[in-house]
Amino acid sequence: MEGRPISGLARLRDDFPILSTEMNGHPLAYLDSAATTQKPVQVLDAMDAYYRTTNANVHRGAYLLATRATEAYEGARAKVAGFVNAASPQEIVFTRGTTTGINSIAFGWGLYHLREGDRILLTMLEHHANLVPWQLVARHTGAELVYLPLTSDYLIDTAALEGLLDERVKVIAFSGMSNVLGSIGPIEVLGEAARSVGAITVVDAAQMVPHMPVDVQALGVDFLAFGAHKMLGPTGIGALWGSMERLEQLEPSEGGGEMIRDVGLYESTWTDIPHRFEAGTPPIAEAIGFGAAVDYLEAIGMEVVRSHEESITRYALERLAEVPDLRVYGPDHLSQRGGAVSFTLADIHPHDLATILDQQGIAVRAGHHCTRPLHRLLEVPATARASFYVYSIPEEVDRLVAALHEARRIFGVA
Ligand SMILES: Cc1ncc(COP(=O)(O)O)c(C=O)c1O
């Protein structure tokens, strides 16, 4: 064991007011960042300032306030585009989050391009957000769902492509980083596989974009969806990136104001990309908060975010290995994983475990984490999950480990 890592980013904690609150008489140890992250004052202030000084509807008013609101909203789009190195801000569609982004591809592309005999290739570790939309579209179109298995070390098994990849595959949709196992997706391999049969690639990047540097132009995929709330931003907003060529093939899956060029009684035409995919009044303050979160992460540097995550995850894996009867589900190698660490402890139900931890002020997630098929594959009904972000410190891992020893004692694990 290499010992406790230096809390390189601990200085950031003062930016997060919630981290100095108490839970059940103990300082909060927030270890559920894979579900949602906490928000720094810089994000809170940006949203507050928008409502206090700039609030107006966007793309409509001819007056100065509306122009400022529109500039702030479009400025946030440019920040998000820069963050993932999109070729232009037009390639960023604001969505409600990862789930909405994937649904808009399933219903805006899948519904129009898939038919009976076609295949949608998914993987066994997908979040329900990247399963259920495809099930719905398969039901509408008659396309078939097929699944890439996992290797014994919890990675997507690309060797299985040999038996599954052929011209029938029209979509390959997969997670860039698993919210349960932490496994990083084999993006280049799956992108290449898709191109070889003319399929599109859809990356569920809900966990990936917040945790590692992402350059969409280098990835060789077609669509990538992520949300702001897992990267220090507010809930209710996310982004769908698509290459311009692919966005042009996408139909709007929501209609209404703001997305049209002209409306007749029986037919309408669409305005330009990306606004044709943003029907109705958008979440303006949330977009501005999203932009502030991007500024915050860029000031840290995504390489630093990633290396902090590697070091805190390494420490967590080492310390959890000290707890008898504890089983971690996920790759051992840090280069293959992010900071979601799911585990079981003897036969203690993860919900009971989470309750014991909560009594010590430690917030972890327990359940199937919206991945029921994966949990069936792991042959457990639920797991407990600790997950980290830029503000996570080794002391929180120490408290988690001490509380797990205590849980063994309380439940009389021999
Ligand atoms: C891998 C993954 N995909 C999709 C989602 C869905 O994100 P949201 O609920 O923010 O739309 C999550 C959130 O937990 C996730 O972890």
Residue 61 has what pLDDT?
Answer: 77
Q: How many CA atoms lie within 13 A of 273 on its CB side?
A: 19
Reply yes or no on domain 44-298 having CATH 3.40.640.10: yes
- Mean pLDDT for the stretch of residues 314-341: 97
Judge if the beta carbon of residue 37 lies within 6 A of ligand 1: no
Look-up: residue for tokens 């480990």? 401
% the chain with pLDDT above 70: 98
Q: What is the pTM of this model?
A: 0.97
Judge if the beta carbon of residue 233 lies within 6 A of ligand 1: no
- Mean pLDDT for the stretch of residues 259-278: 97
The 3-state secondary structure of the chain, one letter per residue: CCCCCCCCCHHHHHHCHHHHCEECCEECEECECCCCCCCCHHHHHHHHHHHHHCCCCCCCCCCHHHHHHHHHHHHHHHHHHHHCCCCCHHHEEEECCHHHHHHHHHHHHHHHHCCCCCEEEEECCCCHHHCHHHHHHHHHHCCEEEEECECCCCCECHHHHHHHCCCCEEEEEEECECCCCCEECCHHHHHHHHHHHCCEEEEECCCHHHHCCCCHHHHCCCEEEEECCCCCCCCCCEEEEECHHHHHHCCCCCCCCCCEEEECCCCEEECCCCHHHCCCCCCHHHHHHHHHHHHHHHHHCHHHHHHHHHHHHHHHHHHHCCCCCEEEECCCCHHHECCEEEEEECCECHHHHHHHHHHCCEECEEECCCCHHHHHHHCCCCEEEEECCCCCCHHHHHHHHHHHHHHHHHCCCC
Residue 6, pLDDT above cutoff 90: no
- Mean pLDDT for the stretch of residues 186-191: 97
Residue 362 has what pLDDT?
Answer: 98
Q: Where are the domains of the chain?
A: 10-30+302-410, 44-298
Q: Give, for ligand 1, the residue of 94, 103, 127 to mutate: max count of ligand atoms closer than 8 Å to Cβ.
A: 127
Residue 284 has what pLDDT?
Answer: 98
Which of 18-27, 292-301, 405-414 shows the lowest per-residue confidence on average (mean pLDDT)? Answer: 405-414
Q: Give, for ligand 1, the residue of 33, 37, 98 to mutate: max count of ligand atoms closer than 8 Å to Cβ.
A: 98
- What architecture is the 10-30+302-410 domain classified under in CATH? Alpha-Beta Complex (3.90)
Tokens of 270: 């669409």
Strands 29-30 and 362-363, sheet pairing? parallel
Judge if the beta carbon of residue 206 lies within 6 A of ligand 1: yes
Judge if the beta carbon of residue 97 lies within 6 A of ligand 1: yes
Judge if the beta carbon of residue 183 lies within 6 A of ligand 1: no
Which pLDDT tens digit goes with each residue over 34-50?
Answer: 999 999 999 999 999 99
Residue 5, pLDDT above cutoff 80: no
Q: Is 1 exposed, middle or buried (0-12, 13-18, 19+ CB in 10 A)?
A: exposed
Q: Which of 12, 240, 370, 374 is catalytic?
A: 370
Q: By the 8 A CB rule, do 326 and 320 touch? A: yes
Which pLDDT tens digit goes with each residue over 339-391?
Answer: 999 999 999 999 999 999 999 999 999 999 999 999 999 999 999 999 999 99
Expressed in angstroms and rounded, the spacing between residue 227 Cα and the centre of ligand 1 is 8
Expressed in angstroms and rounded, the spacing between residue 98 Cα and the centre of ligand 1 is 6
Residue 8 has what pLDDT?
Answer: 66
Residue 1, pLDDT above cutoff 50: no
Residue 4 has what pLDDT?
Answer: 62
Average pLDDT, whole number, for the chain? 96
Which pLDDT tens digit goes with each residue over 79-111?
Answer: 999 999 999 999 999 999 999 999 999 999 999
Tokens of 85: 């190195």
Q: By the 8 A CB rule, do 398 and 155 touch? A: no
